[in-house]
Structure 1
Amino acid sequence: MKQGVLTDTEIAGMIESGNIAADRPFQPGQIQPASLDLRLGARAYRVRASFLTGKDRTVADRLSDFTMHKIDLSSGAVLEKGCVYVVPLLESLALPDGTSGAASAKSSIGRLDLLTRIITDHGHEFDRVPDGYTGPLYVEICPQSFSVIAKTGQMLNQIIFRRGQTVISDKDLSDLHAKSPIVSGDAVISGGLGFSVDLKPENGTLVGYRAKPHAGVIDLEKLNHYDASDYWEEVRTDTGWIILDPGAFYILVSREAIVIPPDHAAEMAPYIAMVGEFRVHYAGFFDPGFGWAEAGGTGSRGVLEVRCHEAPFVLEHGQIVGRLVYEKMTEAPKTLYGREIKSNYQGQGLKLSKHFKS
């Protein structure tokens, strides 16, 4: 069997064979070109702290230790900023030997500063499902900037499935760029494709948004609904640099336009800590066809979800802030991002989540 990230066709086959099961019928559009969207279950557990299970315990064991109270999500419920919740997902797995999983928040969820991480029984890492895992899936949810209303069946996270070695070498990445450019401008390739921040826009001085500290609740079902000014402060500069405040959350954008060819996927990895006191991104996966011209893109820029840590930090235009790790697919998927499926962020620039009015 071919090594690589599994395609939409293979994910559908895993559902048919019972490797992926669910408490409710799967929904149309739940299978993406290289991933499966995961749905919230019926209840949330408010817990005292975030946790990992470790090799000898299940999530249920840990919930019995840390649960404060249960919340019914069937009609929607508020998950409060600064609190930690664990929600059983509707999907469960019985992965074949040689197949593992990796999860991340969906793009719109990361842009809300909503920390969501998949946890498994006997797990040592967030967002990683080990080779051959059989068991339930849970998501830890910790709203960071805004309280949210969540409901059973909503899709906050996605999971990809990997078979064997999937990450391509820097040499292969260079060859891929030489064949058909995967980034505008010069390709900085070292452990993946480096990308930088854009703080000198072609027009105007708007370079990003900063989350307001005391904004209202956001209903995750309501799209194109909220006024951005009620939740975000504009970040403007005419100097080519900004100062990040400790604890603040920002939406910025990459200087480079990025392309993911149809037979590849990519994961945004945070850059090494030595470059500064900040973290980039919650939502990490880029589907095949992102920014690809034949799928409606002419290169799409990456939106950066940035949180500053202990000290104020000066961020300069063109500063390298992260990297994209390219992975090979087992083959090109049947559907591509932005072509056969509705894709909110194809051809994007600086853009808030789809919950805010355009």
Structure 2
Amino acid sequence: MSDAERPGILPCQSIDALISQGAIISQSPFDHDQVQPASLDLRLGSRVWRVRASFLPGRHTVRDRIAEVAMHELDLEKGAVLEKGCVYIAELQESLALPPGVAARANPKSSTGRVDVFVRLLTDRGNAFDDVEEGYHGPTFIEIAPQTFSVLVRRGTRLNQLRLKRGRPEHLRTESVGVDLSNGIAGFRARRHAPVVDLDHVDGHDPRQYWEPLIPQNGQLLLDPGEFYILASKEAVEIPVLEAAEMTPIDPSVGEFRVHYAGFFDPGFGTDEAHGKGSRGVLEVRSHETPFILEDGQTVARLVYEPLTNRPTRLYGDLGSHYQRQGLKLSKHFKAWNG
């Protein structure tokens, strides 16, 4: 079976080819590091609208629906603060003209999920968030809902990423992920009344203003309803160079908490070949209606592995990464914890 026929996720060189062919179009030149080993970072455009409710376009275009629910428009050329507890829709710089047989799926970037900003991709006449139908031609938009921190964004800020794929493999490999509550500082809980987070300012925020360290008792941690936590996986995570993975919640019937809003792992993450051996998965956890006790090693999520159509010419970390070889780690916006 040729690479063009093999089902799976498209690697970076195939994404580059789609850009060259005009299947992925941008309002401005693509950044040199925008194409990742198995995904494409998407960038905010010039305008964002505060809306009174989330929506799915259904039979309509996104712009038509925005006109119905918009409260006011913000200009991102000079930057704008998006307030926590509010919902926004922003235009993205990238639009799509996918060839037959090629579909896509979006997900928040790791740094977006780790500051509890909930984002979802929207496409014209789409009936589901984040999923792009085969052969879609049209613009892309992003719903942005900051949950814990108000955030400062600008034109070009990257909040989500797109994974292109062809077909669907018959069998997908899965792996359970447990939580590490074994010793010392095992996690962080977000502070409710923190300053704004500038999402383009790397290593620019004092973590003590935003986070409270957590020390488990007897290998247990009590999750309070409505709070947001950063924890780490018990196991090292390794994504083989011929696969990509997505971290997904465990059985929804568990109900008490949700884990991982930003779930894409690119090929090479945590591998010896990409100098990442021993990397842990960072878990974004939000408790729901009732207090819930987590225990060391308890399964909280699953990794779903999907093959690539062929080996990527770049691996995770080749263009620089804040998260290769990570343990328990806050987002790139914060200085290293030294408290």
Aligned residue number for residue 155 of structure 2: 152
Q: What's the CA shift for 1:299?
A: 3.0
Q: How many residues align?
A: 332
Of 253, 269, 274, the match for 1:274:
253
Q: What's the CA shift for 1:238?
A: 3.2
Aligned residue number for residue 217 of structure 2: 238
Aligned residue number for residue 70 of structure 1: 73
Alignment of 1:294-309 (within 5 A): 294-309=273-288
Cα distance in 2, alignment partners of residues 317 and 300 from structure 1:
18
Aligned residue number for residue 185 of structure 1: none
Aligned residue number for residue 342 of structure 1: 320
Cα distance in 2, alignment partners of residues 244 and 167 from structure 1:
37
Assess, with a 3 A threshold, how the Cα gap between structure 1 residues 310 and 238 changes in structure 2: closer, same or farther.
closer
Structure 1: gaps of 5 or more residues: 174-191
Aligned residue number for residue 99 of structure 2: 96
Give the aligned residue type for 1:333: P
Q: Establish whether residue 44 from structure 1 lines up as the match of residue 23 from structure 2.
A: no
Confirm or deny: 8 A CA contact 1:168 1:326 kept in the other structure: no
Cα distance in 1, alignment partners of residues 84 and 119 from structure 2:
13
Cα distance in 1, alignment partners of residues 260 and 216 from structure 2:
22
Q: What's the CA shift for 1:312?
A: 0.8
What is the TM-score when the length of structure 2 is the normalising length? 0.96
CA RMSD of aligned residues (A): 1.0
Q: Establish whether residue 351 from structure 1 lines up as the match of residue 333 from structure 2.
A: no
User: What does the per-residue CA deviation read over 1:64-93, in whole Å, with 9 as the maximum and x for residues that have no partner?
Assistant: 110000000001111001110000100000
Confirm or deny: 8 A CA contact 2:255 2:288 kept in the other structure: no
Aligned residue number for residue 19 of structure 1: 23
Moved more, 271-280 or 60-69: 271-280
Q: What's the CA shift for 1:167?
A: 6.6
Of 244, 247, 261, the match for 2:240:
261
SS at match of 1:206: coil
Cα distance in 2, alignment partners of residues 58 and 50 from structure 1:
14
Confirm or deny: 8 A CA contact 1:167 1:328 kept in the other structure: no
Confirm or deny: 8 A CA contact 1:37 1:159 kept in the other structure: yes
Q: What's the CA shift for 1:343?
A: 1.2
Cα distance in 2, alignment partners of residues 83 and 166 from structure 1:
38
Aligned residue number for residue 8 of structure 1: 12
Q: What's the CA shift for 1:276?
A: 4.3
Cα distance in 1, alignment partners of residues 208 and 240 from structure 2:
36
SS at match of 2:35: coil
What is the TM-score when the length of structure 1 is the normalising length? 0.91
Structure 2: gaps of 5 or more residues: none
| 4+ long deviations beyond 3 Å | 166-169
Moved more, 151-160 or 272-281: 272-281
Alignment of 1:194-343 (within 5 A): 194-201=176-183, 205-338=184-317, 340-343=318-321
Q: What's the CA shift for 1:341?
A: 1.6
Q: What's the CA shift for 1:122?
A: 1.0
Of 58, 63, 67, the match for 1:60:
63
Percent identity reads 54
Q: What's the CA shift for 1:168?
A: 3.8
Give the aligned residue type for 1:342: G
Cα distance in 1, alignment partners of residues 100 and 85 from structure 2:
38
Aligned residue number for residue 176 of structure 1: none
